[in-house]
Structure 1
């Protein structure tokens, strides 16, 4: 917990910034971006799925430009790329479409309100950065304030099933060698909570779905090395700063025994939660009033039968109308 905070903070934001600064200093930093590049590509597809050209967009926690690089003038006219790490932001790739007016800003995801005026953006995107935010409800509320009416927030973050293999193996290995275990994997948001948090922030017309990406590694050690290269190593306040050598080897053996593939490699699961939420506006579609539905929820168990009967009734009504029209035509001819 931060000593200067009145709230219970899970993450050490300064430690996370320093971790990400170190990734930018590595000459081969781009080799570790494969997960973030893939998710950024999938997130950009969701931007293009919305049949709208946005006047001004924000890439929040842009990293190395994992989303922005895929955007064109057809998606957004003006783009602001921001990140907590100035070193990462400096190396972030801007859109290849040079007609987009793009600028970069160093911004902490936890204090957006001090960097942007209310109703500044039509689109806010965030790809795999918000899982390091301490007060996610506050950040969602600040994103809402930054959006113009009928603006949209499109985000992706790691879900609770991410790296469950590594988490379990480290716990078992540490328990075996040291008689107990500490937290070595930072906590992630659960999908069941995301909708409630977005609703509480005022977002409407929510769309939330999950995806899983499984990556194979020669051993647990290569996985942990890549996590460090991504800047995704643990940054929680209660993290244990040192793992004993024996514990590491024990955890690696457990990982391979419990989850290993036939070829000797190990899988690592990354669960991705995608979310889309809109800022309310009078022009948006409204839900039907209660009681106007034609099918009761209690009939859902026999949905096929209900649809079949409705189709048959529609066919009969159409045939009746055709017959009636033919009879009218015959009468006129006579």
Structure 2
């Protein structure tokens, strides 16, 4: 996610779930004067990429941010919130540490991510083992995201979605890549292993149902983008109900007036 924050300068920003600091590479001193990188994985912080912005790294859980209320002017998060156990609490924590008129900008994987892989594994397990268990971490639906942000206290919300499709030689390459990214399923109730016959059946189903003409298979990554602001008196507010001076019913007449004016 590339951030365009040129409209203002943020004295203090927080990167939640920063990992190795990929967001910091797209920020500059004119946008962010100081950055706090927070992640629950200590080794990721130790191996973080250096940035031109003065940076402090803190080991922290997204659900229990160790910062005072009204601390940050900006909070960002990129593709880490799908690992959070309690997403509503994480949003509330982000809202809590933001200053009034502060903004949260985030991106996270959405509900249709890896649907090809999930469907293929479930069908193969049903066929070979008579039942199935999840092998991909659960994701949030876009219909719930705006509601969760609103409940956390954010206003002037913007939520958008995008899909990125990556082609692989086959199912095994998809799973190998996910393991290399550290994106395997970490649920406590997950099944510890997949039988060889089930894996071969899943690979065949994946190819049959979703395969491309060149023999490769697609893997879809759905990404939600979100922006939410913490309330401040200076922010624009919606007008009161009943204060409109023009009826929507009159809008249709405008096209007629314009057409007559052109003649």
TM-score range relative to shorter protein: over 0.9
The 5-angstrom pairing of residues 199-218 of structure 1 reads 199-218=150-169
Cα deviation per residue 1:228-256 (whole Å; 9 max; x = unaligned)? 11111001122111000110010001000
Q: Distance in 2 between matches of 1:135 and 1:222?
A: 31
**Aligned equivalent of 1:179, options 127, 130, 133:** 130
By how many angstroms is 1:93 displaced?
1.4
Cα distance, 1:158–1:306 mapped onto 2, change above 3 Å: farther
- TM-score between the two structures when normalised by the length of structure 2: 0.94
RMSD between superposed Cα atoms in Å: 1.8
The 5-angstrom pairing of residues 233-244 of structure 1 reads 233-244=184-195
**Aligned equivalent of 2:33, options 77, 80, 83:** 77
User: What is residue 18 of structure 2 aligned with on the other side?
Assistant: 62
Q: Distance in 2 between matches of 1:205 and 1:140?
A: 15
Q: Distance in 2 between matches of 1:130 and 1:170?
A: 24
User: What is residue 53 of structure 1 aligned with on the other side?
Assistant: 9
Cα distance, 1:116–1:261 mapped onto 2, change above 3 Å: same
Q: Distance in 2 between matches of 1:213 and 1:296?
A: 42
By how many angstroms is 1:292 displaced?
2.8
User: What is residue 270 of structure 1 aligned with on the other side?
Assistant: 221
Equivalent residues, number = 262
Q: 2:75 aligned with 1:132, yes or no?
A: no
Gaps of at least 5 residues in structure 1 are 1-39, 317-334
Are 2:62 and 2:93, in contact at CA under 8 Å, matched by a contact in 1? Answer: no
Greater fraction helix: 1
User: What is residue 26 of structure 1 aligned with on the other side?
Assistant: none
By how many angstroms is 1:296 displaced?
4.7
**Aligned equivalent of 1:308, options 241, 255, 260:** 255
Describe the SS at the equivalent of 2:135: coil
User: What is residue 107 of structure 1 aligned with on the other side?
Assistant: 60
Describe the SS at the equivalent of 2:92: helix
Cα distance, 1:77–1:224 mapped onto 2, change above 3 Å: same
By how many angstroms is 1:168 displaced?
0.3
Q: Which of structures 1 and 2 has the bigger CA Rg?
A: 1
Q: 2:185 aligned with 1:248, yes or no?
A: no
Cα deviation per residue 1:99-151 (whole Å; 9 max; x = unaligned)? x2211111111211xx1111110000011111111111111111111000000
Cα distance, 1:74–1:179 mapped onto 2, change above 3 Å: same
- TM-score between the two structures when normalised by the length of structure 1: 0.75
Q: Distance in 1 between matches of 2:202 and 2:56?
A: 45
